[in-house]
Structure 1
Amino acid sequence: MKAAPKYLQIINYYQNLIDSGKLAEGEQMPTEEAIGQLFNVSRITVRQALDCMAQNGYIYKIQGKGSFVSSQKTDMQLNHLSGFSDEMRAMGMTPSTLLVDKALVLPSESVAKALRIEPDQKIYLLVRVRCADGVPMAVEKVHIPFYRFAGLEEHDLSQSLYGLLKEEYGCESYKATQSIRAGAASTFDAKLLKIPTGTPVLCIARTTYSSDGVPFECVDSVYRGDKYVFNVTLEK
């Protein structure tokens, strides 16, 4: 029987190490030179194998630093509206939130436009780290209008925000618009997410509306790229 191509041998070898836990999440892969020496192949062959592993979600690359082991990804649906806490509980995970900062500030032009308020109307800015089973998953920068939720700072902001707004202010999420783009973790976000600066992330901008059609929340989130797969069901 003909032997498998060298690049497939490399893939099978390292994917087995990752699947068995011998190479742990976040651990750095050996250098291209080391892998080439181990399998007696060129760097071109090594890069072909690493590119395939990255495409399959086993590793991720950081320019100038090397390749690192990814983790199992959390599936999140895009075709229904729910909060982070509900999503995590639905997957059997325990959600938690770390409040990093809260402030009463003037909105940026884009936030004022999204919330349909004047630039001189103050908003609450909340910076929160969302965790699942104690692992940092996302950094959220939440913008909500002061006039609608006065006194918000007096409440526990480490709980589900949607739950709090519904119970205390009678405001329930009805629909949302959302955009997703690829990005690289800033030093600030990387520190909170406990990942290397420059790690691939998903940058999500979301505006949420209540049943009266008025936007009540504008959120800029940075999700760990090694933790998420977003799914959507399309029907004709």
Structure 2
Amino acid sequence: MESPVYIQIHNQLKKDIEAGKWSIGDRIPSERELALNFEVSRMTLRQAVQTLVDEGILERRIGAGTYVANRKVQEKMSGVTSFTDLMTAQGKTPSSKTISFHIANPSLSESEKLQLKDGEQVLRMERIRYADNVPICFEVATVPQSLVADFSKAEITSSFYKTLEEKGGYQMGGAQQTVSAQLASERIAEYLDIKRNGSILRLRQVSFLNDGTPFEYVRTQYVGERFEFYLER
């Protein structure tokens, strides 16, 4: 199965950055230039760039273009906690709306984060997560297809961690988490019912089973005024 065009462009741009074509802090060519170079529409090119922004590889600067992101300070937070459990513990009713759910070839970033072998496919799903029917975050989660082959869509989208533990017999381990700030794109603002360029907290997380196997790569955008992170030492 051939990857979508925007994933192919994502992969090539990531390779170019890793090869030193652009250094940290460098401005990459405009979307118009890149779209012409790749011979794709601006919309397709923008989708590829946005995936790199969501992964923290690129960053947009209002009125100035798109740049190779600076390395940010990383702070270790708590281990793997499901959104469902987190909201329930706070006395709120969790729910979600699935935007997309499909088996696909992994991007380079997904393959690296999940330590996939050649030819392995992934399940990639996009969801809006709610607490008491108020949108809290937009989430893109990628997991190895082999891990969830025996589970139904409902079991995966309703409470993924609970399904892994109770039906799959897996035990959760730790997580690597990175939090940064950004402005909401038009699409994300619509999903989360906020103004475009509203404040967003972006979490990138790789979750591990207790044997150290990475099983999930998540890119989540939280509404800044509706969610906060805290650290326990």
TM-score bin (small chain) = 0.5 to 0.7
Q: TM-score, normalised to structure 1's length? A: 0.63
Q: CA deviation at 1:179?
A: 0.3
2:114 aligned with 1:96: no
Q: Distance in 1 between matches of 2:224 and 2:185?
A: 13
Q: Secondary structure at the match of 1:93?
A: coil
Q: Secondary structure at the match of 1:162?
A: helix
Q: Is the contact between residue 79 and residue 173 of structure 2 (CA under 8 Å) also seen in structure 1?
A: no
Report the identity percentage.
Answer: 28
Q: Distance in 1 between matches of 2:156 and 2:185?
A: 24
Q: Secondary structure at the match of 1:208?
A: strand
Gaps of 5+ in 2: 1-61, 63-75
Gaps of 5+ in 1: 1-62, 64-76
Q: TM-score, normalised to structure 2's length? A: 0.64
Q: Is the contact between residue 93 and residue 132 of structure 1 (CA under 8 Å) also seen in structure 2?
A: yes
2:193 aligned with 1:161: no
Tell me which amino acid in the other structure corresponds to 2:97. Answer: L
Question: How do residues 1-236 of structure 1 correspond to structure 2 at under 5 angstroms?
Answer: 78-118=77-117, 120-234=119-233
Bigger Rg, structure 1 or 2 = 1
Q: Secondary structure at the match of 1:228?
A: coil
Alignment coverage as a number of residue pairs: 160
4+ residue segments displaced more than 4 Å: none
Q: Distance in 1 between matches of 2:190 and 2:171?
A: 32
Instruction: Give RMSD over aligned pairs.
Output: 2.0
Q: Is the contact between residue 162 and residue 172 of structure 1 (CA under 8 Å) also seen in structure 2?
A: no
| Farther off after superposition, 150-159 or 194-203 | 150-159
Q: Secondary structure at the match of 2:218?
A: strand
Q: CA deviation at 1:158?
A: 3.6
